[in-house]
């Protein structure tokens, strides 16, 4: 059997795709995989903030078109870049273990912690979720909008004379970047991550049972649960790139604990709420917390 795997062309996207192919091949040595790089709108328009180009679909639409057309069989994405709703005819299949879910500060050489950043220091991020949360902890900082792939954003520390940038730990770890002391992990109590940060999404055609069965062997149960709950939260808030949205789900035995973050476009309101549930109500938990928080925001 041969699987044609679609992916964006960034270093991170290719690394993630090859990781998934390696896991598949270990479990199914007879399966042959071919990688097809697909450019998305988000890759082509490089100089605009994401929320000026469109929603999350700017990184997925062209790839999903090829899945539906049958020119590829499977796509590997970062789950956090996926819109809440998938096009008709496609679904997410099983997923391997989550990487570190946290955000990190990559700091300029010589700065070793968030408290070390000079008063009024400059931090780069294009994410409202990251911006308003870091400002809660250090209101004096100046947040500079930046875009580009991970390597580009790290280079901007020198190029744009920043004190640091905020990135996902998962991207840095998967790329194997060795930034040593320059990386400070941000506890989720300070910066709640994006829903499903660090989780991979493997998208296939809804009726492709054969591929679904192959992917079952790479499944990581706790990650599947976290992905379902956090994506339900994203769907519940109508997740866009225009407002700050965060979520993290912890699984302990048959209990799940979900924290959510939601704010207004201008960051004036930023609320963080919590819900507990059981394994038999995964999507409900995410949805209920999201709807309660949206209601509360509309009253504020």
Ligand X SMILES: NCc1[nH]cc(CCC(=O)O)c1CC(=O)O
| Binding region for ligand X (CB under 6 A) | 78, 80-81, 150, 167-168, 170-171, 197-198
* Close Cβ partners of 282 (under 8 Å, ≥ 6 residues apart): 225, 228, 229, 232, 256
In the complex with ligand X, the residue whose CB is nearer, 103 or 259, is 103
Q: 117: which 2 tokens?
A: 């950043």
Please report how close the Cβ of residue 127 comes to ligand X at its closest, in angstroms: 7
Which CB, 74 or 208, lies closer to ligand X?
74
Angle between helices 209-216 and 11-27 (to 10 degrees): 80
Catalytic (active site) residue 22 = no
Which residue lies nearer to ligand X by CB, 16 or 205? 16
The residue (of 63 and 167) whose beta carbon lies closer to ligand X is: 167
The answer to whether the CB of 282 falls within 8 A of the CB of 232 is: yes
**Catalytic choice (22, 69, 81, 189):** 81
| Least spacing, CB of residue 171 vs ligand X, in Å | 3
Q: How far is the CB of 2 from ligand X (least distance, A)?
A: 27
Q: How far is the CB of 29 from ligand X (least distance, A)?
A: 28
Active site residues: 81
């Amino acid at each position: 059997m041969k699987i044609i795997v679609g992916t964006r062309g960034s270093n991170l996207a290719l690394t993630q795709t090859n990781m998934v192919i390696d896991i598949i091949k270990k479990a199914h040595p007879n399966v042959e995989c071919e990688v097809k790089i697909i450019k998305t709108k988000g890759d082509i328009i490089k100089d605009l903030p994401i929320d000026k180009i469109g929603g999350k679909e700017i990184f997925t639409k062209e790839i999903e078109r090829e899945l539906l057309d049958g020119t590829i069989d499977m796509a590997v994405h970062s789950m956090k870049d996926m819109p809440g709703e998938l096009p008709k005819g496609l679904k997410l299949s099983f997923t391997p273990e989550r990487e570190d879910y946290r955000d990190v500060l990559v700091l300029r050489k010589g700065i070793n912690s968030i408290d070390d950043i000079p008063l009024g220091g400059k931090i780069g991020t294009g994410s409202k979720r990251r911006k308003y949360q870091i400002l809660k902890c250090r209101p004096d900082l100046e947040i500079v909008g930046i875009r580009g792939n991970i390597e580009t954003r790290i280079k901007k520390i020198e190029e744009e004379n920043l004190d640091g940038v905020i990135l996902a730990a998962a991207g840095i770890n998967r790329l194997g970047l060795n930034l040593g002391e320059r990386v400070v992990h941000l506890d989720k109590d300070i910066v709640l991550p994006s829903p499903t940060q660090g989780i991979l999404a493997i998208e296939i055609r809804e009726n492709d049972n054969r591929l679904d069965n192959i992917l079952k062997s790479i499944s990581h149960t706790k990650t599947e649960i976290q992905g379902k709950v956090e994506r339900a939260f994203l769907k519940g808030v109508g997740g866009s790139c225009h407002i700050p949205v965060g979520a993290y789900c912890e699984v302990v035995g048959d209990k799940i604990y979900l924290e959510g973050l939601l704010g207004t476009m201008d960051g004036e309101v930023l609320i963080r709420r919590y819900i507990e549930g059981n394994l038999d109500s995964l999507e409900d938990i995410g949805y209920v917390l999201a709807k309660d928080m949206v209601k509360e925001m509309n009253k504020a």
